[in-house]
Amino acid sequence: MSATVEYVYCVVPATLELADLPKGIDNSAVHTVSSGALAALTCSLDGASYESDIIAEKIGDPEWLAPRAVAHDALVTWAGDRGPVVPLPMWVMFTDDSGVSRMLVDREREFMDALARVRGAREFCVRIAADRTALAAAAEQMDTALAGLERQVSLAAPGEAYLLGRKLAEARKAATRNAAVRIADESHHALSQESRSDVARATPAASEQGVILDGAYLVADENYEQFRTVLTGLMGMFEPAGVHFDFTGPWPPYHFVRES
């Protein structure tokens, strides 16, 4: 390992204005390495402290990882606040600036395409969650067949009521699953219509702790207010049934660029 390594945070247009550039990992000075129309934001770190086996050993330690992750994200966010950015994952490192330059040359088309794709847009995330009770209540409102089964159970003789009751219980389970799928699908579709690109990161079938949708949306700056209007409408439609919407952003476009 060389005395220092060049740690790369992101790729930006070479024309990016660098005033007020924040510090990087370990309070290091950040500089750019340029190649044509591209530039990489990078810093020099102590090579002995950032050998691959040391990183692998320490990456599970939150006290060690957290300040470095915060510094990495701060640089990417700073760049994203000023123009298009291609965020790189943590621990992209080279022995010197010439290695960074070669990366920019070798991946020029990829980086140029990614910058064009995210130019004038930001990433927003919407997570939709509902517990089983809330989804069951929503299902009761959405599935009119449940009310019919309930009436049949209430009017049936004891033996028939038992069988119908089991049928009703299964119908409620299915309706609850369907309610989750419907809320997730309708919400994702509506938000996608107002986005340049989208990624649904979770599905109702694979959700944990009541999460029925975890979506990322690349929203053009000029379409942000319409996106918010659609989201507000969805919240007004589904939140009375106990469904919770968590809206965060803007973020750098992590989900809309190819990672190294």
Do 59 and 146 fall within a single domain? no
Do 146 and 248 fall within a single domain? yes
State yes or no: pLDDT of 165 exceeds 80: no
Count structural domains, the chain: 2
Q: Which domain holds residue 106?
A: 4-119
% of residues, the chain, pLDDT over 90: 62
Mean local confidence (pLDDT), 3-32: 94
Do 112 and 184 fall within a single domain? no
Mean local confidence (pLDDT), 7-24: 94
Do 243 and 126 fall within a single domain? yes
In this predicted structure, what is the pLDDT of residue 236?
Answer: 92
Boundary residue ending a domain (78, 101, 119): 119
Do 190 and 226 fall within a single domain? yes
Do 70 and 127 fall within a single domain? no
Phi-psi region of 36 (alpha: psi -120 to 50; beta: other; left: phi over 0): left
Mean local confidence (pLDDT), 175-201: 86
Do 134 and 242 fall within a single domain? yes
Read off the pLDDT of residues 61-111 as tens digits, 9 standing for 90 and up: 999 999 999 999 999 999 999 999 999 999 999 999 999 999 999 999 999
Do 101 and 136 fall within a single domain? no
% of residues, the chain, pLDDT over 70: 77
State yes or no: pLDDT of 224 exceeds 80: yes
Mean local confidence (pLDDT), 211-239: 94
Got the DSSP string for 18-76? -TTPPP-GGGPPEEEEEETTEEEEEEEEEGGGG-HHHHHHHTT-HHHHHHHHHHHHHHH
144 confidence band (pLDDT: 50, 70, 90): low
206 confidence band (pLDDT: 50, 70, 90): very low
